[in-house]
Structure 1
Amino acid sequence: MRFSALKKYIDLKLILLLAGFYALFDLVFIARYAYLRSSFPKEVMEPWFDFLVFNILIDFLVVVTYMSLIAISTKRFLHKNYSWVRIIIIHTVFSILIGLIIRLIFDLFSIITGQIPLAEYQLAESLHRFMYVIHLNFLIYFAMVFIIYTYYYVKQVKEAEKQRGMLETQLVNTRMKMLSSQLQPHFLFNTLNSIAVLADVDKEKAKDTIADLSDFLREILYSKDDNEITLEKELRTLEYYLNILNVRFSDHLTIVRDIDDSLLQKKVPALLLQPLIENSIKHGYSYDHTDLKITISVKAKEPWLVIKVANNGKAIASKHEELLENGVGLVNINDRLKNLYHNDYFFEISNTAEGEGGVETVIRIPLH
């Protein structure tokens, strides 16, 4: 694995935490050794220098290096969603290997420094020393593995809380941006002017339009701060907005709905469709496109829920990335999708050559 690919699995804070834990263990070990030397001086013959270098320093470096590799492997295990049975088996094998590795490194160091002549080296005696402390190595290993998993769990909880806070903030910002865009003087003027005209021509329709405007604003202002709502509720909110648009644009706007009714209880990001419709109307009308047809489609295509908003209006000259750079509403949609689904979504605005032509916006989110 290249270092650049490995780097994303390296967490310096976790490595320092493991090093601190083992340093604490070594301090207890040193205190124990000091007590034995003072209480049983004839039985503890190893000099302080040899003890601190061989039993503490080298052991510390080997164990921390080994556990750093285990921490990297553990993060990969979490990303690959291995079963707990498989993970426990792997860690059990690694807990045995750590003792063997430490024992072999000490033996190799002793041979290189001349403490043990190669001819006198006995593998059976080395294996006996390994078995003598195998339970201790096992306990220390799993104590450090517990620290690793606890660290990643706490980190995931904090990240989830942070994302939740970001989503709630973005949802509030979305509502406020919708209000700031819809409650501009020209919007209210055009809507209220249409109501005023209807009051003389069709009083019942004027009342309906006032009710739609009221319900639309109420849904935005007073609905719960859910990041995801059912498709049924999203369409109900959208319907108030579309009714107002039909009054404003009269016969020059046609809305076609192609919704799979079996998907009405599926969850979608709250307040997603209205800015897509608004964007389609804003950029769809032109001198050559005075009559606009917008099609709203929601279908299931495993494993995706596919949402399309297409029009037969003016084509766009910019690429999707450029539109995101210039459109505040589109950036907001993309950010919310990313926070909700990470990279497991698709969002694109492009020209279409199908049928009457025009522009289509396609969003794919997980169906389940």
Structure 2
Amino acid sequence: MTLSKLKQKYIDFRLVLLLAGFYLLFDLVVIAKIAYMRAYMPAMKEELFVWSDFLLNNLLFDYIIVIAYMTMIAISTKRFLNKNYSWVKIISIHTIFSILIGLIIRFLFDSYSILIGKVSLAEFDLRRSINAFIYVLDLNFLIYFAMVFIIYTYYYLRQVKEAEKRHSKLESQLVNTRMKMLSSQLQPHFLFNTLNSIAVLTDMDKEKAKDTIADLSDFLREILYNSDRNRISLDEELRILEYYLNIVNVRFSDHLSIKKDIKEELLLRKVPAMLLQPVIENSIKHGYSYDHTHLNVLVSVYQEDDMLVIKVENDGAPVSMTHAELMEKGVGLKNINDRLHNLYQDNFFFEIRNKSNDEGVETIIKIPE
């Protein structure tokens, strides 16, 4: 990973400026306090005090160290949030860091004083240095945690805004998915084929004709009026899918076989709404060819480590394009990929590929719990 990418991933310069501004405000308060004490408190007037030494050797030196240190803390905090550490562990780590910053400032200040000849090595008093560290220990602790609070608040508010954007985008995508599905299913060939099948069934099997009309009605109703939840239970997703499969089975009659291999304990797991139908439709649509007039489709759902795996495979015609090319060409497939990205960021897997034995195509989707 290049330096620029590392900066983009871990360093937020707006946050660094916010921390720098906060500590600058703190230093201005310190300057105002010292000025007041020098002007109105007799004991302070008698002490030897040089403003240039105080501003350069104390405030500026301290300011640079603190901002550099807190920038590293901000980077570490982002990693803590990404790794989901417990609050007990996070607070313990920050407590140690709040003590460590005082030690670092003391060490660097003493080293700087020796290097510039302000204090000789022989004159250096370790006990005095420790006393100076202890004297401001509580102040360092409060300042550190105030800045950590700013860091966490900043990241929290940013995550809230990003979540709101993702939620809004997901709602829009879900509506678009429903409309595209409805548009796809209302294409003339779909309706004509379905209605023709119903017309034939009215003479051959009136009960089946009624069932097909009911399935068509229920399927379109689910697309139009089902709740706008982005994720639903697998059981509910399969129920909606069944309406579509019943219609497809009527259309393709004995030339299509669709089987499911789904563990019952997974039925309550949450999956993206309206996910299976476009995947299966794509598998059926591209599975038939001159050499593949009969199609077997298998829908599998199983657990693999901490991921839920959804696999749709057929024994039909192989795909001639790569997964990336299919994403560019297929609007429905790209919509699925976009929805998965917004729901799970980069923590998912989606690929359409030829099976290893070159006897069909498989679509694999892996999503976290």
TM-score by length of 1: 0.92
SS of equivalent residue, structure 2 residue 261: strand
Q: Which moved more, 1:357-366 or 1:103-112?
A: 103-112
Asked if 1 retains the 8 angstrom alpha-carbon contact of 2:39 and 2:45, the reply is: no
Amino acid at match of 1:268: V
Cα offsets for 1:122-148 (capped at 9, x unmatched): 222222222222211111111111211
Q: Which residue of 2 aligns with 1:33?
A: 34
How many pairs align? 366
Q: 1:54 Cα shift?
A: 2.0
Q: Which residue of 1 aligns with 2:332?
A: 329
- Cα gap change, 1:45 to 1:171, in 2 (>3 Å): same
Identical-residue share of aligned pairs (%): 67
Q: Which residue of 1 aligns with 2:359?
A: 357
Give the alignment of 1:134-173 within 5 angstroms: 134-173=137-176
Q: Which moved more, 1:95-104 or 1:267-276?
A: 95-104
- Note the residue ranges of structure 2 that are not aligned, 5 or more in a row: none
Q: 1:318 Cα shift?
A: 1.6
Separation in structure 2 between the aligned mates of residue 345 and residue 6 of structure 1, nearest angstrom? 23
Separation in structure 1 between the aligned mates of residue 267 and residue 311 of structure 2, nearest angstrom? 15
Cα offsets for 1:204-262 (capped at 9, x unmatched): 32222211111000011111111111122111111111111122222222222223233
SS of equivalent residue, structure 1 residue 85: helix
- Cα gap change, 1:233 to 1:16, in 2 (>3 Å): same
- Cα gap change, 1:353 to 1:108, in 2 (>3 Å): closer
Give the alignment of 1:167-182 within 5 angstroms: 167-182=170-185
Separation in structure 2 between the aligned mates of residue 214 and residue 115 of structure 1, nearest angstrom? 89
Moved over 6 A (4+): none
Amino acid at match of 2:239: R
Amino acid at match of 1:358: G
SS of equivalent residue, structure 2 residue 49: coil
Pick the aligned partner of 2:323 from 311, 320, 324.
Answer: 320
SS of equivalent residue, structure 2 residue 10: coil
Separation in structure 1 between the aligned mates of residue 90 and residue 53 of structure 2, nearest angstrom? 37
Separation in structure 2 between the aligned mates of residue 294 and residue 76 of structure 1, nearest angstrom? 43
Q: Which residue of 2 aligns with 1:24?
A: 25
Pick the aligned partner of 1:220 from 220, 223, 226.
Answer: 223
SS of equivalent residue, structure 1 residue 97: helix
- Note the residue ranges of structure 1 that are not aligned, 5 or more in a row: none
Q: 1:353 Cα shift?
A: 4.8
Q: Which residue of 2 aligns with 1:15?
A: 16
Q: Which residue of 2 aligns with 1:193?
A: 196
Asked if 2 retains the 8 angstrom alpha-carbon contact of 1:307 and 1:364, the reply is: yes
Amino acid at match of 2:167: R
Asked if 2 retains the 8 angstrom alpha-carbon contact of 1:37 and 1:44, the reply is: no
Separation in structure 1 between the aligned mates of residue 2 and residue 132 of structure 2, nearest angstrom? 37
Separation in structure 2 between the aligned mates of residue 89 and residue 234 of structure 1, nearest angstrom? 44
Query: Do structure 1's residue 52 and structure 2's residue 55 form an aligned pair?
Result: yes
Pick the aligned partner of 2:133 from 114, 130, 135.
Answer: 130
Coordinate RMSD, CA, aligned: 2.1
SS of equivalent residue, structure 2 residue 352: strand
Separation in structure 2 between the aligned mates of residue 278 and residue 64 of structure 1, nearest angstrom? 56
Q: 1:4 Cα shift?
A: 5.4
